Chains A and B, each alone.
Chain A
Amino acid sequence: MSSSLIIGQYIPSDSVIHRLDPRSKIAVIFFYVVIVFFANSVMSYGVLALFALSSAVLSKVPFSYIMKGLKPVWFLVIFTFLLHLFVTREGEVAFSLFGWAVYEEGLIQGAAISLRFFLLILVTSLLTLTTTPIEITDAIEELLGPLKKVKFPVHELALMMSISLRFIPTLMQETEKISKAQASRGVDFRTGAFKDRVKAVVPLLVPLFVSAFKRAEELAMAMEARGYQGGEGRTKLRELKLERRDWLLFAVFILLAAVLFLTRS
């Protein structure tokens, strides 16, 4: 429960971003990820950042919380920046650091790449922060719908995804419970030699697997008892429907793309 990783941590709220159709969110994020790679001027990066930041504000997710969740990836962002800074050998020498020449081009590229990285992670984590896992899998099932024509098991895939997503918190709780029980019996997960720590995992993994298999069996039985026979003819409780706000989002996004291509240098 103390994990700082926010991927998959939905934060309930009733903001505009929350109420958007999950399909439009996924589609827009997909194309956003694509066009981020076309940006190459200050202005184009500016509009991209404006879009991402205003979505973050509209989502009403506390900004400090988003930042905290991005902590694990800060390292990557900074690492790519430094890599570009020191490896690129083009343009004028900007300044030298500990006898190592840093080129202007390296500075620019480093900044651009890390900004790209940051924007990508920001929008994708916004998706999981404002959309429940169930909505996401529903949307993926719909978006992949056309693949059914080529006998691709779209429904089964979506079901597998929602089941695994559904059981992540359950398994995490279970892990915490069992590790506490074993810690009470004197297992030390935190200190000791590497070999001992690997050995300490066995009393955790065995009970975890046993209960996961038990759960899987029970779930299968419960589904069968309620007449589940696969996707054929199955109706949905929540039908996805595009609203005015979704069309508005598309319009804004097309505008963004247009501005981006006009401001490219």
Chain B
Amino acid sequence: MDITFDHVSYTYQPNTPFEHRALDDLSFTIQSGSFVAVIGHTGSGKSTLIQHLNGLLQPTEGQVQVGPYTMKAGEKNKQLMKLRENVGVVFQYPEHQLFEETVEKDIGFGPQNFGVGQDEIKRRTKEAVQAVKLPEELLERSPFDLSGGQMRRVAISGVLAMDPEVLVLDEPTAGLDPNGRKEIMDMFYHLHQEKGLTTVLVTHSMEDALAYADHIIIMNQGKVYREGTPLEIFKQQQALEDVQLDVPEVVSFLKMARDYGLDLEYEGQTIAELAKEIALKVKGGGDHE
């Protein structure tokens, strides 16, 4: 599903001393089937943005279009349930939303609310559990008996079982160990490719944005600060530093290398590719001496 924000603004607690404009005349488009990373400092409006994607918040001004669904300021959307079925949101620390007696019931909770039949729920539960690599024996256990990492996986399968076309991920790996992070991110990427999902990832990790996204939106003070492919974005190190954001390791390494007389441009190389390039250059430099 294509997602379009058209001059969207959102204000929290309007007309009080706590009034706060979280989104400020925001416009952008996310193409169907793309993997988009939304990056920004705390308070830049990322969370507010993603809550517009499934109608949890309604724009104070402007219009949000998600596939066939429109949310316009001041107008009630009557197809909110349909929209929410199609847009799965994995919130930060999603394990906090678990409540059922068994893992199986919790995973089936979403689909059941959207009126999916029992057999189909069973099938989806199985599929979702396999996708997140949870052993099937756990289905009968209480979600509160599991480890933190397992609870996270249960919560994620609960969203996957809704079989959404758009997947919104709000820092899905926060608080996990490096291994778990990579596993979960690889899993999302795999699903993204296999099912052709439109994926929106909110993250602080430049490495993740570089590794998985094909489009990056940088937010600052409720506005789109920069937008483009990872290559375009990470070439602008100064612009990123101006809003207190880092660049991926590869890019900052290249900058440091420049101080040592190694002049290489960033062209989207991985660390391994870069290592080869440097080796070549160092050897080549040896010839001139």
Residue from A62, A68, A185, A211 in contact with B110 in the complex, judged by beta carbons closer than 8 Å? A185
Of B2-10, B32-40, B80-88, the stretch lying at the interface with chain A is B80-88
Q: A207-B97, A211-B96 are in contact. Are A177 and B91 (CB under 8 A)?
A: yes
Q: Is A145 an interface residue (CB 8 A)?
A: no
Chain A residues with CB under 8 Å of B91's CB are 177, 180-181, 184
Which interface class (under 10, 10 to 19, 20 to 34, 35 or more) fits A? Answer: 20 to 34
Beta-carbon contacts of B64-105 to A below 8 Å, as 1s and 0s? 000000000000000001001101110100101111000000
CA distance in complex: A186, B56 (Å): 11
CA distance in complex: A207, B97 (Å): 6
Q: A180-B51, A181-B97 are in contact. Are A187 and B16 (CB under 8 A)?
A: no
Q: Is A72 an interface residue (CB 8 A)?
A: no
Q: Is B222 an interface residue (CB 8 A)?
A: no
Beta-carbon contacts of B141-162 to A below 8 Å, as 1s and 0s? 0001000000000000011001
CB distance from B13 to the nearest CB of A (A): 6
- Contact check, A184 vs B81: say whether CB atoms are below 8 A apart: no
Q: Is B28 an interface residue (CB 8 A)?
A: no
Q: Is B17 an interface residue (CB 8 A)?
A: yes
Chain B residues with CB under 8 Å of A162's CB are none
Chain B residues with CB under 8 Å of A62's CB are 17
Q: Is A210 an interface residue (CB 8 A)?
A: yes
- Contact check, A182 vs B144: say whether CB atoms are below 8 A apart: no
Chain B residues with CB under 8 Å of A184's CB are 54, 56, 84, 87-89, 91, 159
CB distance from B195 to the nearest CB of A (A): 19
CA distance in complex: A159, B109 (Å): 40
- Contact check, B56 vs A180: say whether CB atoms are below 8 A apart: yes
Residue from A64, A65, A186 in contact with B114 in the complex, judged by beta carbons closer than 8 Å? A186
- Contact check, B51 vs A185: say whether CB atoms are below 8 A apart: no
Q: Is A231 an interface residue (CB 8 A)?
A: no
Q: Is A178 an interface residue (CB 8 A)?
A: yes
Q: Is B113 an interface residue (CB 8 A)?
A: yes
Chain B residues with CB under 8 Å of A187's CB are 113
Chain A residues with CB under 8 Å of B84's CB are 183-186
Q: A180-B91, A186-B81, A188-B81 are in contact. Are A207 and B96 (CB under 8 A)?
A: yes
Residue from A11, A178, A203 in contact with B109 in the complex, judged by beta carbons closer than 8 Å? A203
- Contact check, B144 vs A210: say whether CB atoms are below 8 A apart: yes
CB distance from B266 to the nearest CB of A (A): 38
Q: A65-B16, A206-B99 are in contact. Are A185 and B94 (CB under 8 A)?
A: no
- Which B11-26 residues have a C-beta within 8 angstroms of A? 12-13, 15-18
Beta-carbon contacts of A132-175 to B below 8 Å, as 1s and 0s? 00000000000000000000000000000000000000000010
Chain B residues with CB under 8 Å of A68's CB are 15-16
Provide the main secondary structure of the chain A interface.
Answer: helix
Chain A residues with CB under 8 Å of B97's CB are 178, 181-182, 185, 203, 207
- Report which residue of A65, A184, A211 has the largest number of chain B beta carbons within 10 angstroms of its beta carbon: A184
CA distance in complex: A187, B114 (Å): 9
Q: Is A220 an interface residue (CB 8 A)?
A: no
Q: A185-B159, A203-B99 are in contact. Are A65 and B144 (CB under 8 A)?
A: no
Q: Is A202 an interface residue (CB 8 A)?
A: yes
Residue from B15, B51, B56, B96 in contact with A178 in the complex, judged by beta carbons closer than 8 Å? B96
- Contact check, B99 vs A202: say whether CB atoms are below 8 A apart: yes
Chain B residues with CB under 8 Å of A203's CB are 97, 99, 109
Q: Is A235 an interface residue (CB 8 A)?
A: no
- Contact check, B113 vs A185: say whether CB atoms are below 8 A apart: yes
CB distance from B213 to the nearest CB of A (A): 22
Residue from B16, B18, B162 in contact with A185 in the complex, judged by beta carbons closer than 8 Å? B162
Chain A residues with CB under 8 Å of B159's CB are 184-185
Q: Is A2 an interface residue (CB 8 A)?
A: yes
Q: For residue B158, which residue of chain A has the nearest CB?
A: A185
Beta-carbon contacts of A110-135 to B below 8 Å, as 1s and 0s? 00000000000000000000000000
CA distance in complex: A174, B97 (Å): 10
Chain B residues with CB under 8 Å of A64's CB are 15
- Which A178-213 residues have a C-beta within 8 angstroms of B? 178, 180-188, 202-203, 206-207, 210-211
Interface residues of A (CB under 8 A from B): 1-2, 11, 62, 64-65, 68, 174, 177-178, 180-188, 202-203, 206-207, 210-211
In the complex, besides A180-B56, A183-B56, 8 extra interface pairs with C-beta distance below 8 angstroms are A1-B13, A62-B17, A64-B15, A174-B96, A186-B85, A188-B81, A203-B99, A207-B98
Can you list 30 A-B pairs, Cβ within 8 angstroms, ordered by A? A1-B18, A2-B12, A2-B13, A64-B15, A65-B16, A65-B17, A68-B15, A68-B16, A177-B91, A178-B96, A180-B51, A180-B91, A181-B91, A181-B96, A183-B56, A184-B88, A185-B84, A185-B97, A185-B109, A185-B110, A185-B158, A186-B113, A186-B114, A186-B162, A188-B81, A188-B113, A203-B99, A207-B97, A207-B99, A210-B144
Give the 6 A-B CB pairs with smallest separation, nearest first: A186-B113, A206-B99, A185-B110, A181-B97, A184-B89, A186-B114
Interface residues of B (CB under 8 A from A): 12-13, 15-18, 51, 54, 56, 81, 84-85, 87-89, 91, 94, 96-99, 109-110, 112-114, 144, 158-159, 162
